[in-house]
Amino acid sequence: MDEHRNTTLRRGGITRARQGARTYVWRLDERAPGDARRAVREALAGWGVKEADIDVAMLLTSEVVTNAVRHVRAELRAGGVVWVRVRVMDGRLRVDVTDPEPGFPRLVAASDTDEGHRGMAVVAGCADRWGWHPGAGGGKTVWWTQVLEVQEPASEGAGFKRVLSRSTSR
């Protein structure tokens, strides 16, 4: 069983899948952000999500997984993993990224010359909602939601699309 888990970790494999939800796990190393982007693209494309929404989801996944890889303390990194759960329900995407670092994510006002420190600002600017919570066994989970573009029924005109608004007023 341990050998199977190690093989899964090396490959960044799916640990559980069902319609509309997938959970992945990778070691905390430099390959994790790219592997996470590819996994999110594959899952969302398979569920018929529009390309523009996939691009945003890949960007946000990359930012949060990169933060996990870069900012988890050394003593937590050894043998540590990052979990990514992707779910689509009722026209909304939710992605949860769990890592072993208990420190909360911070929005940092990066200067024009900073080469980093923009990850959570990108998430805050692109996601419809985002947040974080402490993990059950330590660590934390950073999550965001994204309202997905939907295809109107054929009776309203072939190819007609609308984007659900981030906020609605009635």
CATH value at residue 129: 3.30.565.10
Q: Is the residue at 167 inside a domain?
A: no
Does residue 169 form part of some domain? Answer: no
- The range of the structural domain enclosing residue 111 comes to 2-162
Task: Report yes or no on 81 lying in a domain.
Answer: yes
- In a domain, residue 63? The reply is yes
Q: Which residues contact 118 (CB under 8 A, 6 or more apart)?
A: 63, 108, 110
User: How many whole angstroms from its chain centre is CA 125?
Assistant: 15
pLDDT at 7: 44
Domain presence at residue 168: no
Has residue 69 been placed in a domain? yes
Query: Per the structure, how many domains does the chain have?
Result: 1
| Residue pair 145/130 in contact by the 8 Å Cβ criterion | yes
Q: Is 170 within a domain? A: no
Averages of pLDDT over runs of 10 residues in the chain (170 residues) are 47 46 95 97 93 96 93 88 94 95 77 64 90 90 90 39 37
Q: What is the pTM of this model?
A: 0.75
